[in-house]
Each structure stands twice: as C-alpha cells, then as structure tokens.
Amino acid sequence: MQAQKLTLNGNTVVSGKQIDFAETCFAVFYLLFFAGAFGFGADLAAAPVIPTPIITLIRYAAYAAVVLLLSLRPIETLKTALSNKWALGIIFITSISFLWSYNPSVTIDSIWKEFIPMFLLSLYIASRFTLEQQFKIVLWVLVIVFLESVALAVAMPGVGRHIEGPFVGSWKGVFAQKNQFGAHSAMTLIALFMLANYAKEKQRWALILLGGCFAALLVSSSVTALTLSFVGLTLTVFYRRFAWLGKRSVLLGALFVLVSVSFFYVLFSNWVDILDYFDRDPTLSTRTLIWHLVINAKIPGSPYLGYGRGVFWDSVGLTTGFESFAYHVPPHAHNGFLDLILDVGFIGFSFFCVTWFMTYVRAARLAYDRKEAAYLWPLLFLSMLVLFNTFESYLARLTTLYWIIFIILAFSLTPKVFASKD
C-alpha cells in the first residue's frame, strides 16, 4: 500500500515513494530496537555498550513516533484493531493484568515500557504495509541483527560470546544467551531459504547468507535451534510443494502426521537412552524439572488470570522451591506457553490459542492461493513459533520480535485488513 504524496499550495513537497521509504526505515528501526540490536552488552557487569540514556531516548522517541503515525490514519488504525477481536482480547487482558498482579508496580512498568509499545508497532505495521512489504521489513531486521551478532562475536568477543559459565566460547551476538542467538539464526535461515527459492524474483545471493546462518547455528552450540532449523526447512518444502493439492495432499498429510507421531513416540519412549548416547542431560538442562514445578505447584496458585505480566520470575515469594527442586531459580520457564499462563492465566492463554489457530488457518488458505515467499512466510512463522516456544520463552516475555510478528500477522490476515491491501 503506497502512501499519498504530501502537497503544499498544489506543489508536491514529498512524494508517496519517499514517504513509503521513510516509514519502511522507521518500521525496520523500531523492530531492530525490540530485537535487541541496540541493547547488546546490557547483561554484562559493566555498563552496556550503548549508554542507557540513549536507549531510553530511542525508546520514547520511537514510542511517540508510532503513536503519531497511527493517529494520522485513524480509520485504518481503528479498522485494523477491531478486525480481530481475539487478538484484541489477549492484548486487553495483558494490559489490565496489573489489577490482579502480585506486584502491580512491576506489571505497570512492564506494560507501559514493553507490552503497549510492541502492540502499537504491530498495529502500525499491520495497518500500513502489505504482506509483501512486511516480509521484506522482517527479513531486513533478521539479517541486520544476524550480521550485527556475527560482527560482535568476531570483533568484540567479550560482548558477542559467552565468557564464563557452562557455555564459554559459544556465540550469543546481541542476545543475552546462546539459545536466543541460535533461534534467531534459525529463523533467519528459513526466511532466506524462502527468499532464495520462492520469491517472485529469486535472490540467489541469499544462499550465501543462508550458509552463514547454518555456520552460526554450529558456533552457537544450540542443539535445539539447529534441530528446529532443519524441521523448519522441511516444513517449508512440504508446505510449498505438497500442501492442499487435492487427494494427494490428504495422503501426504496423513503420512507426515504418522511419521511425526512415530518419531516422537520413539523419541520419548527412549528419552534417557537417546540423550545419554549424545552425552546430553535427560532433564534437558533441568527444563523438565522446571516445567514439573510450574505446572503442578505454581500455575494452580493463580490459574485463571495468572500473576500479572512480568512478575513471576522476579518475585522471591513466588519462585520458592526452584533452588531445591530444579537446583536454581531460572529467568523463565524455558517454555513460552507456560510463561504466558503464569502472566495471564488460562483465560489469557485461551485467547492466544484461538488467535493463533484462526491466524494459522488463514495463513494456510493464503499459502494455497499464492505460492510466493511473502504469502508462505506467515504459515512457516506460525509453525516455528510453536516449536521455538516448546523449549524456550519467545512469546510475550519482555520485548520480543516474535510476539510483534505474531500480532502483525493476526491482524494482517483478517479478511477485512487483507482485502483492503490486496
């Protein structure tokens, strides 16, 4: 969707293409902020590489800019916001979770500084850009953060690599932990694979960066991300070549499910033996211990509405028992769905599930109608979102690019919004 030109006394001051370019740059810039491109090094004992006052200035300047841009297009903004009641429901429940929060001041701070800005940016991108434009914007963000991470790991190893603890030497780039870098590299790899093979004009240069992403997965030493990248590539080929082709798709789909179920049956039946063979911890670095305690002891404490956004893992009174049961107090549940339930309970989680399912169905229909990368991307992203959040927490915890993209797609794929840009 192209912007209208800006005129003064009948003379064109700024053309529509110039406005489009400026808004695209702003969208990329603000997404980079939430992806962590400017906050690297903040997890270190020393001061972050980019001073905190500058980060704060970027945060609130971009915050004000996105509010202004939304207000300049009130009709499109309102139409987009009201197009998906379920997505709006999870946004609303999270935004008022301070009312029942275990620590209201922490929740209000989290909502004001993190959650609302992410929602406003999602709403802006969904209402302003087409799916093709969104795919390009997201791809630029993924590639820039990936290249920045590689540069940090090479040029500033004290920042871009783990320098202590069990992961010494592993690359983490702009992120706080190697698994985050691995997940980002895997998502970038999948997007580049789609660009190289399924775009209207195939971009073969993307294959070079794709190889770089694979190498980055190896040096990040994130086995989960490496495995899921192969799963993602397999799903990409499967969705593109075989899905929704009449009876053959039904057969292939059934075979795929059968093979998948058989694989996971063998995997879980021989869980300990397989992990011992690869010299891995059968508890998946105490993940299963954390999940057991969260499911059986913590969620029942506030099952319907949760403890409020961003409160649980920073509250000493709520995390009792983890030291003795899971050997330490983790920063999160290592599962995005469990963290979402801890924040907004089963009521909020139900809104998320319905939103995800409806968006997934719409993405599947779109991928059938149009085979280009930009229209296949939503289906792949929604699939990988589930897989990534099985072993890590990439949903609505803190600021995350994945949550923003999810909300963008939830609004963009509604019939009214999609038809208005088609």
111-161 residue pLDDT tens: 999 999 999 999 999 999 999 999 999 999 999 999 999 898 888 888 888
Which run of H or of E encompasses 21? Answer: helix 16-35
CA angle 339, 293, 330 (to 5 degrees): 55
- Encoding tokens for residue 61? 């300047």
How large is the angle between the packed helices 16-35 and 116-128, nearest 10 degrees?
150
- Token pair of 13, please? 């001051």
Read off the amino acid at residue 202.
Answer: K
Q: What pLDDT does residue 258 have? A: 46
Tokens in use for 367? 């991928």
Residue 385 has which token pair? 């979102």
- Tell me the pLDDT of the chain averaged across its residues: 83
Report the C-alpha gap between 352 and 175 in whole angstroms.
26
**Statement: residue 409 has pLDDT above 90:** yes
Measure the CA–CA gap between 74 and 81, rounded to whole angstroms: 10
pLDDT of residue 262: 45
Q: Which two structure tokens, joined as six digits, stand for 102?
A: 């275990």
What pLDDT is recorded for position 119? 97
CB atoms within 10 A of CB 173: 28
Read off the pLDDT of each residue in 367-394 and give the average, rounded to a whole number: 85
The amino acid that residue 90 corresponds to is I
The DSSP symbol for 14 reads E
With contact defined as beta carbons under 8 Å apart, do 179 and 224 qualify?
Answer: yes
Query: Which tokens in the block code for residue 145?
Result: 């953060």
Q: In which element (H, E) is residue 7 found?
A: strand 6-8
Say what the pTM is.
0.89
DSSP annotation of 171 = B
Does 327 or 116 have the greater pLDDT score? 116
What radius of gyration, in Å, describes the C-alpha atoms of the chain? 22
Residues 278-320: tens digit of each pLDDT: 555 555 557 788 888 899 999 999 999 999 999 999 888 888 8
Q: How far apart are CA 49 and CA 38, in angstroms?
A: 9
Interval 64-94: pLDDT, tens? 999 999 999 999 999 999 999 999 999 999 9
* CA atoms of 174 and 160, how far apart (whole Å): 6
